[in-house]
């Protein structure tokens, strides 16, 4: 591999013409309006580090304008950038960079952008960044504050448990490199992971062994049409490419480079989640190495202080005077210096950046406590050499403190890694490769070749062998099999798949071979959306975490003050003779005695556990929920669900199966029943309502005795029903909450409820009314049909209840939750269904917008309201509810509006969601007990409050161990949530009110 001091920047092809940046940065708009570049000039942007005032920017501008060939230069102080236009035949990019550096500042040439890039705006980009070095909630607050102050940044969320930051920013104002630079300037490690941009791809590259190979790769990319921008990192062998998806696809790009290099370069798509997992592993490995190194150096200190005094020969060597000190003192000083300043360097670096940013964290406490012990010991040695009065040293205290803290951080890394297992398992569901079926223009198969599954494109035909995973969402075009979808939906029973059936990427094909046509790939797949939902939930902050953030912000200063008060109180009390001299250590003094208490107070108090209490529990809970088919969209939703007082259910498709069937049809005029059904079916053929489909299915079966139905849900259903037996319809109109109206042969036909007919002046006879009432009282929906302004007939439609509905309703009552049903159906049908499932509070004949009003009416007294629905008409209510729960089989709009997605289409998951929320909040509160108990109990002990009466003293090294174990205890407590099992149907009724 070629040596490198940083990223190798490969310029974009066609710079100055059609090139775009990965994220373009707009600088000096006013300048652009007044200056037009000529063909012989070139424009570049330069990032400048070190400018602090207007004088600095003026100095840089003067330096640039003095360079021969530079025609214009303008410096933006706030953005730390310069815009330079120059003649490339007279001056090079490097000359401009050198001119800025000669002026005393650091310079970096930014990727070039063409004139086309500067004209229009761009949508906000949501990017993910890894942030290394955060140790507690104070670090999180510091990073969030710094990023929020950046110009162009709209929203920032930083998660301590995952070491991730999500930033929403305007790429016209700030680039991802600026954000990474801001993170690093704050003293943390930052790197870009991914963004929601669809026209860029991160590739792993094999076969690049030298700078020459990199230049060959650059040449190939520069000559590839459609490539906008690229950057190659020779250290990680990663290639970041931005491309025009209308000109070239990611697969064509990879194939072109591999074929063009005759196989020398081997490219594969880097999964961003896999890259993050590898970084987590490297952090754990690094922490383990530091701990082992510290332990290896601390063991000799233990032997010198405890074992060697009992071995005369060795002890005599330690007492041998070498210069001003004993050999033992030299050894301890040398060993501890390595531990303190080499292994423990990370604590000083982290403490320095925290103080530089105006915050304090755990690293400040560790650095303060260990430095105090180390400095005192060094001073004691020097004082003894000068005066002959030898005080005891406490080198081992510093070494043991660092060793125990590193042990705690290593255990914490291990435990935190397990909290993100849910994401890792979901990512692993996607197969690494896919079998692409290549066909000719006639549709005949030419070849089958294996490709990276991340390079599958919509429309590709893929072959899925038995026992393998389906690479993408799609439609079966050939074959039949059973597919295990439990890893996505939580439903263990394999699902039969025939031609035209839909399949989900990541699920397992059990038996026969299938050919599927990919319909959704990349971030559009169901699995990717689930991963995104879980990840977003893990990134979010539950409201209860505000308490921890506030405490963390004042915690360290408070502890430092307590430590100083401890030092002063014990020292002054000793000087005044308030305690006997025999309490002092051998050859010790009052200052040393007070200092040990003070150091113990500093190191026992750690805000790390507070910062981990909530996010680790939320991470585990969202992962457990996903494994049980319950997707939680955020920590706030998770917290609110445990306080739910009312659960409002939609009827159709929620409490019922949503598969309506016509059970009765009666004509009240002289019209033939077949003619009547043909009229109604023609009117409903253009409707998307489930009742309309049920009528079509019934009419087809009645007229043709055809067993095929619309249950398959294929695209050709409408065409099947318009095959000649339906009448032509004009002026069709669907009226939400009422029905449909249209014209057939110039005569108006109305199909809907009473309200529709009454609004149009259609009389409803007593005979018809009695028949409709009879239907409604038996939990069926009566559909009235008027043709040519005459009430012609009635259809009775039944929608069976879900088998678990009544048990779930009773279970909610046992939990102290009040169930409510809201439906657009008529009152009699609504009451009949409610009576059957056991719901007392019913709201019927409610329009879609009215459902949201019903939700708000229950919220007036401050009650927490959950809404369970599946249709588009439920989305306003789902959005208005405190906790919206969308049935997974429902519409995309409903799922988008909800806080929870119940993937299994099973009402039992409503109880699972509430129960999981309660268990999680209990665990979070318990975590706070673990986090605070060490401090509340141990700080008085560390300060020596009980020493006068009980002679209890907490040595600093033991205080360090307690501090380390507090974080480990919290994370392990959260991990116990992984043992959660959802309440079983047979035990739901035994749930008691908490």
Rounded distance between C-alpha atoms, residue 344 and residue 734, angstroms: 72
Q: Is 650 a catalytic residue?
A: yes
DSSP states of 305-333? IIIGGGSHHHHHHHT-EETTEEHHHHHHH
Number of other residues whose CB lies within 10 A of the CB of residue 492: 9
For tokens 């909800």, name the residue: 898
Name the residue among 570, 392, 551 with its Cα closest to residue 942.
570
Nearest CA among 725, 728, 790, 729 for reference residue 757 = 790
CA dihedral 672, 673, 676, 677 (to 10 degrees): -150
Question: Does residue 44 contact residue 112 with C-beta atoms inside 8 Å?
Answer: yes
Q: Which of 650, 825, 882, 905 is catalytic?
A: 650
Closest CA to 42 of 89, 103, 2: 89
| Distance separating alpha carbons of residues 684 and 663, to the nearest angstrom | 17
Half-sphere exposure of 805 (CA within 13 A, CB side): 24
Q: What is the largest CA-CA distance in the chain?
A: 125
Do the Cβ atoms of 339 and 122 come closer than 8 Å?
no
Q: Please answer whether residues 831 and 802 qualify as being in contact, where contact means their C-beta atoms are separated by less than 8 angstroms.
A: no
CA distance 745 to 787: 11
Sequence-ordered alpha helix ranges (H) in 357-505: 362-387, 395-419, 421-429, 486-489
In the chain, DSSP finds a helix count (H) and a strand count (E) of 33, 36
Q: Residue 619 belongs to what H/E stretch?
A: helix 608-627
Give the pair of three-digit tokens for residue 764. Answer: 């409803």
Tell me how crowded residue 669 is: count the other CB atoms within 10 A of its CB: 10
How far apart (Å, rounded) are the C-alpha atoms in residues 608 and 212? Answer: 47
Helix (H, G, I), strand (E, B) or coil at 24: coil
> In angstroms, rounded to a whole number, what is the distance separating the alpha carbons of residues 724 and 711?
21
Residues 6+ apart with CB under 8 A from 615: 159, 160, 161, 162, 538, 541, 545, 635
- How far apart, in whole angstroms, are the C-alpha atoms of residue 749 and residue 676? 11
H or E element in which residue 449 lies: strand 445-452
Q: List the Cα angle 552/553/557 in 5-degree steps.
A: 95
* CA distance from start to end of the chain: 63
Instruction: Go through 255-272 and write b for each residue having 16 or more CB atoms within 10 A of its CB, e for each that does not.
Output: ebbbebbeeebebbbbbe
Continuous segment of H or E residues that includes residue 734: strand 730-735
- On whether the CB atoms of residues 399 and 335 are closer than 8 A, the answer is yes
| Residue 679 backbone phi and psi in degrees, to 5 | -60, -50
**Burial label, 542 (beta-carbon count in 10 A; 0-12, 13-18, 19+):** buried
Question: CB–CB of 729/744 below 8 Å?
Answer: yes
Beta-bridge partners for 885: 868, 900
Token pair for residue 800?
Answer: 């069976």
CA dist 286 → 140, 235, 281, 283, 445 (Å):
21, 18, 9, 5, 51
Beta-bridge partners for 749: 742, 787
Helices (H), 628-689: 635-641, 673-684
Task: Give the active site residues.
Answer: 650
């Amino acid at each position: 591999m070629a040596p490198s001091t940083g990223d190798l920047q490969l310029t974009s092809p066609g710079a100055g013409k059609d090139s775009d940046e990965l994220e373009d940065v707009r600088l000096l708009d006013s300048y652009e309006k007044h200056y037009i570049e000529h063909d012989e000039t070139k424009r570049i942007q330069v990032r400048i580090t070190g400018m602090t005032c207007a004088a600095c920017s003026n100095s840089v501008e003067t330096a640039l304008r003095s360079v021969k060939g530079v025609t214009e230069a303008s410096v933006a102080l706030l953005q730390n950038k310069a815009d330079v236009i120059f003649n490339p035949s007279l001056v090079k990019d490097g000359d401009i960079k050198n001119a800025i550096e000669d002026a005393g500042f650091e310079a970096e040439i930014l990727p070039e952008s063409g004139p086309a890039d500067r004209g229009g705006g761009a949508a906000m980009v949501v990017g993910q960044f890894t942030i290394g070095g955060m140790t507690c909630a104070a670090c999180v607050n510091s990073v969030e504050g710094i990023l929020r102050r950046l110009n162009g940044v709209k929203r920032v969320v930083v998660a301590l448990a995952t070491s991730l930051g999500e930033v929403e920013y305007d790429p016209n104002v700030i680039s991802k490199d600026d954000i990474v630079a801001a993170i690093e300037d704050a003293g943390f490690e930052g790197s870009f992971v991914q963004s929601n941009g669809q026209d860029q791809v991160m590739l792993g590259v094999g076969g690049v062994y030298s700078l020459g190979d990199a230049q060959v790769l650059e040449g190939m990319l520069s000559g590839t049409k459609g490539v906008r921008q690229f950057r190659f990192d020779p250290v990680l062998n990663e290639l970041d490419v931005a491309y025009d998806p209308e000109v070239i696809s990611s697969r064509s790009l990879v194939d072109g480079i591999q074929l063009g290099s005759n196989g020398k370069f081997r490219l594969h798509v880097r999964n961003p989640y896999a890259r993050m997992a590898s970084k987590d592993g490297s952090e754990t490995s690094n922490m383990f190495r530091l701990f082992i190194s510290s332990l290896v150096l601390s063991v000799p200190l233990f032997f010198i202080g405890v074992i060697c005094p009992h071995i005369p020969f060795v002890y005599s060597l330690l007492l041998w005077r070498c210069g001003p000190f004993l050999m033992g003192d030299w050894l301890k000083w040398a060993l501890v210096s390595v531990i303190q300043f080499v292994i423990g360097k990370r604590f000083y670096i982290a403490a320095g950046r925290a103080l530089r940013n105006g915050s304090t964290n755990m690293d400040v406490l560790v650095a303060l406590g260990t430095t105090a012990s180390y400095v005192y010991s060094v001073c004691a040695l020097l004082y003894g050499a000068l005066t002959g009065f030898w005080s005891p040293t406490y080198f081992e205290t510093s070494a043991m403190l660092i060793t125990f803290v590193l042990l705690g951080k290593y255990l914490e890394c291990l435990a935190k890694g397990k909290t993100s297992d849910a994401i890792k398992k979901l990512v692993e569901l996607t197969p690494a490769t896919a079998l692409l079926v290549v066909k000719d223009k006639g549709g005949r198969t030419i070849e089958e070749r294996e490709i990276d599954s991340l390079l599958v494109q919509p429309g590709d035909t893929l072959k899925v062998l038995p026992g393998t995973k389906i690479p993408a969402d799609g439609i079966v075009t050939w074959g039949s099999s059973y597919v295990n979808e439990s890893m996505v939906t939580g439903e263990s029973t394999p699902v039969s798949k025939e031609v035209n059936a839909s399949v989900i990427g990541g699920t397992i094909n059990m038996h026969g071979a299938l050919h599927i046509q990919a319909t959704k790939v990349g971030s559009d797949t169901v699995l990717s959306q689930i991963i995104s939902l879980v990840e977003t939930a893990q990134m979010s902050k539950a409201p209860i975490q505000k308490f921890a953030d506030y405490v963390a912000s004042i915690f360290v200063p408070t502890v430092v003050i307590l430590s100083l008060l401890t030092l002063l109180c014990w020292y002054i009390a000793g000087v005044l003779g308030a305690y006997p001299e025999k309490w002092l250590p051998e050859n010790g003094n009052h200052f040393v005695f007070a200092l040990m208490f003070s150091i113990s107070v500093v190191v026992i108090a750690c805000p790390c556990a507070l910062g981990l209490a909530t996010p680790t529990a939320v991470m585990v809970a969202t992962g457990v929920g996903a494994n049980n088919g319950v997707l939680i969209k955020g920590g706030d939703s998770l917290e609110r669900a445990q306080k739910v007082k009312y659960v409002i259910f939609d009827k159709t498709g929620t409490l019922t199966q949503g598969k309506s069937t016509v059970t009765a049809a009666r004509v009240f005029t002289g019209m033939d029943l077949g003619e009547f059904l043909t009229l109604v079916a023609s009117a409903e053929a253009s409707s998307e309502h489930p009742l309309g489909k049920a009528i079509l299915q019934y009419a087809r079966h009645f007229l043709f005795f055809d067993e095929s139905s619309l249950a398959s849900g294929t695209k050709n259903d409408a065409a099947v029903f318009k095959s000649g037996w339906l009448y032509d319809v004009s002026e069709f109109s669907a009226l939400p909450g009422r029905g449909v109206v249209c014209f057939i042969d110039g005569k108006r036909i109305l199909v809907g409820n009473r309200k529709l007919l009454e609004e149009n002046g259609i009389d409803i006879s007593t005979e018809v009314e009695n028949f409709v009432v009879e239907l409604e009282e038996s939990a069926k929906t009566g559909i009235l049909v008027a043709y040519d302004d005459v009430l012609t007939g009635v259809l009775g439609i039944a929608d069976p209840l879900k088998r678990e509905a009544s048990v779930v309703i009773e279970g909610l009552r046992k939990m102290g939750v009040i169930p409510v049903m809201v439906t657009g159906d008529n009152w009699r049908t609504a009451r009949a269904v409610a009576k059957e499932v056991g719901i007392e509070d019913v709201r019927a004949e409610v329009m879609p917008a009215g459902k949201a009003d019903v939700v708000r009416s229950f919220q007036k007294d401050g009650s927490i309201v959950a809404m369970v629905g599946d249709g588009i008409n439920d989305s306003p209510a789902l959005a208005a509810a405190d906790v919206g729960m969308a049935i997974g089989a429902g519409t995309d709009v409903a799922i988008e509006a909800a806080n929870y997605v119940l993937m299994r289409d099973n009402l039992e998951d409503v109880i699972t969601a509430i129960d999981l929320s309660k268990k999680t909040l209990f665990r979070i509160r318990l975590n706070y007990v673990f986090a605070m108990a060490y401090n509340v109990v141990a700080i008085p002990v560390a300060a020596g409050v009980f020493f006068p009466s009980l002679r209890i003293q907490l040595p600093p090294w033991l205080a360090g161990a307690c501090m380390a174990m507090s974080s480990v205890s919290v994370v392990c407590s959260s991990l116990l949530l992984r043992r959660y099992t959802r309440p079983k149907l047979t035990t739901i009724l035994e749930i008691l009110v908490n």
